[in-house]
Chains A and B, each alone.
Chain A
Amino acid sequence: MAGTRKKLIRGDTRNLLYGLLFISPWIIGFSVFLVYPVLSNFHLGMTQYSGFGAPEWIGFQNYVTLFKDPLFWTSLYNTFYYVILAVPLGVVVAIGLAIAMNQKVREVRWYRVILYLPSVAPVFALSMMMIWLLNPRFGLFNYILSWAHIPAINWLGDPHWSKLAIVLVAQFGAGHVGLIFLAALRAIPPNLYDAASLDGASQWRKFRHITLPLLTPTILYDIIIGLGLGLQVFAPAYIMTQGGPLNSTMFTALYIYKNAFEYNQVGVAAAVSGILFIINATLAIVIFWSSKYWVNYHLE
């Protein structure tokens, strides 16, 4: 009896040691590549540091400078503008794609491949394509709009349209989340729809009262991932507009990049990164917390 217990305890410790051994690369990676930089942002954020020599401690000076810098506020405004536009639109587009990919036609698999395709293409290359596609004089988009007698839009040169252009780029990558929504759609038991049909429910009512509630877990996932991607949007703005025109696409990530790597204001950049982390984490937690009011886990 005592022998078995001893053996059991030894088995537990053995398992613990093996478990920790196997996950140790993650423990190192998590500490060095995620926890350390997050903490370091707050430390570096309190120093004057050009990237050369030693950082010099200046307390909250960077934060004071930041709060007085209109460009910092512009960058936050732009980022929130982008997130508020891109995240809900992204959910709608992804659900639309999922419905498209769920149509009962024989060759549907090929449509899925095509709709997913742009999401594996590099964002930087997609951004290059968009520069030309959205060219005010020779671009395909304005040409197509001209068929409907819509006057030429200077997408990337007009501050009213520039953020929309970048929101548009993100929509080309929606096929990925669309596929996740598709899996959720297909997990809905068909008998739910049959029952609703017998009751004479319209297509819209079926979507509103059966499909949508059962998609809420995926919507939650998409919102949180979209939030992170939106708050950290960088490459399209860097490539297409460099933050312009009139700083209308100066997003926070670009502001961090420029401070750190172009103006040698590493301390300021770290302070902004810290703020961005707090915003991102807080919003993610709030959305998770809110999910108990609107996410339906009935199927799970």
Chain B
Amino acid sequence: MEAFIRPLSTRFLFEARQQLASRLFLIVTCLFYLSPMYWMVVTALKSDTELAKFPPTLWPQELVWKNFDQATKTFPFLPYLGNTIFYAAITVIGSVLSNFIIAYGFSRIKWPGRDLLFYPVIASIFIFVQFPVNPITMVPMFSFFAGLGLVNSFLPLVLPPFFGNPFFIFLLRQFMLQIPTSLSEAARLDGANEFQIMGRIILPLTRPALVVVALLAGVNAWNDFLGPLIYLQNDKLYTLSLGLTFFRTMHRIEFNLMMAASCLVVLPVIVVFLCFQRFFLEGVTLGSGK
């Protein structure tokens, strides 16, 4: 009996110690990864005098909520919020619509040259990385849209998502390839045309992947800085990302206000992320299923 218990208890002890080590490692890493956001929140709630203290206080002595109020008065917060929501919403619609249809063409219909044409999709992921605005293409694209008289409108930002994003095409194609072809064939035999198969059979089955695309596209648009920076020069059209730079260019940077404004800009992304974390965490690996 004793001989049986002892190895078992040492094993438990060993595992408990192992778990403690794991937890310690995880907590330290998490603290580091949360530090920017923690510091943002703490700073946003500090008074001017507390801000100038050294060593800095790790938690505000007094919570100054009116910093948020003041921050939103330093720049036109609500209009910029509206612009950002508009940009993100149209991007989501465009991305879901176009990438679904394109990925369908790349996976659910067999046609000669299909897999060959998919190479440029992959290649463009690896060379351009960021879509639609990136430093390699921004100069000619700006001239292009300027020639059409579209600078200082949202069109240069919201039009490209309607023409596919290689990342999303890849992700959705991988997902759709896993749906058995027999489903489409059965429907075809029943006399359904391609559009009916796409809308009635494949669309419902692809919904989880489309949610991932919608979330990623929305977050990308919300987080876009370079696009609004070059195309939106009229400050009535600014997005929140450009609004924040007001604080950067002030003569004397008021860090508590700047952090309060940052909180408000980051908060929606965090909320969306926490609500849909399963989609985010699992969405990453959706496309890597070979």
Contacts and interface: CB of A to CB of B under 8 A. Distances in A.
Q: Do A and B come from one complex?
A: yes
Interface of A: 12, 15-16, 18-23, 25-26, 28-30, 32-34, 36-38, 40-41, 44, 49, 51, 96-97, 100, 103-105, 108, 111-118, 120-126, 128-133, 135, 137-140, 143, 146, 172, 175-176, 179-180, 183-184, 224-225, 228-229, 232, 234-235, 238-239, 252-253, 256-257, 260-261, 266, 269-270, 273, 276-277, 280-281, 284, 300
Nearest to B249: A242
A25 B102 contact: yes
Contacts, number: 276
Contacts of B53: 138
Among B114, B138, B142, B259, the one with the most A-chain Cβ atoms within 10 Å of its Cβ is B138
5 contacts: A25-B101, A34-B128, A49-B143, A118-B34, A273-B139
Among A37, A104, A281, A300, the one with the most B-chain Cβ atoms within 10 Å of its Cβ is A37
A interface secondary structure, majority? helix
Interface string B89-130: 000000000100110111001111110010011001111111
Nearest to A28: B163
Nearest to A101: B26
Contacts of B244: 124-125, 128
A202 B189 CA distance: 59
A114 B266 CA distance: 15
A103 B25 contact: yes
A232 B135 contact: yes
A289 B230 CA distance: 36
Interface of B: 19, 22-23, 25-26, 29-30, 33-37, 39-40, 43, 51-56, 98, 101-102, 104-106, 109-114, 117, 120-121, 124-132, 134-144, 146, 160, 162-164, 169, 194, 219, 222-223, 225-226, 229-230, 241, 244-245, 247-248, 253, 255, 258-259, 262, 265-266, 269-270, 273-274, 277, 280-281, 284-285, 288, 290
A118 B266 CA distance: 10
A26 B121 contact: yes
Nearest to A34: B124
A270 B130 contact: no
A269 B219 CA distance: 29
Contacts of B247: 128
A104 B140 CA distance: 51
Contacts of B194: 18
Contacts of A224: 126
Contacts of A44: 139-140, 143
A96 B274 CA distance: 23
A229 B129 contact: yes
Contacts of B131: 33
B222 A122 contact: yes
B61 to A, nearest CB: 15
A133 to B, nearest CB: 5
B100 to A, nearest CB: 10
A129 B40 contact: yes
Contact of A12 (B111, B169, B281): B111
A179 to B, nearest CB: 4
B259 to A, nearest CB: 6
Contacts of B113: 16
Contacts of A281: 127
A171 to B, nearest CB: 9
Nearest to A281: B127
Given A23-B105, A228-B126, A260 B138 contact: yes
B141 A128 contact: no
A138 to B, nearest CB: 6
Contact of A33 (B36, B112, B141): B141
A140 B39 contact: yes
